[in-house]
Amino acid sequence: MSGVQVISWETAQEVLTPKRREVVGVLGRMSPNSVRELSRELDRDKAQVSRDLAALAEHGIIRYEEDGQVKKPRLTQEHLVVEPVV
């Protein structure tokens, strides 16, 4: 399906902490111009947000658009689906 990323239940448990789900939620409704802007929107420390973004990027949930020295975090897909446990 176009615009959908599927991750395993195990990956979701490991990666999608409450704070990271909050990051994904904000990225789903806005396109911040920088990690700093995202940090302000979340009212969190930039270093903590950067660590969360790195973990999400490692699992292909987010990517960065680079504009000079500025990194703009973006979701890789419009929807994120967690595989059901069978």
pLDDT tens for each residue of 18-41: 999 999 999 999 999 999 999 999
Q: Which residue numbers in the chain have pLDDT < 70?
A: 1, 85-86
Would you list the domain boundaries of the chain?
4-81
Share the mean pLDDT of the chain: 92
Confidence (pLDDT) at 45:
97
Residue 86 is predicted with a pLDDT of: 58
pTM value is: 0.89
CATH 1.10.10.10 fits domain 4-81: yes
Rounded to whole angstroms, the Cα distance separating 16 from 19 reads 8
- Classify each residue of 29-42 as buried b or exposed e, where b means 16 or more C-beta atoms within 10 Å of its C-beta: eeebeebebbbebb
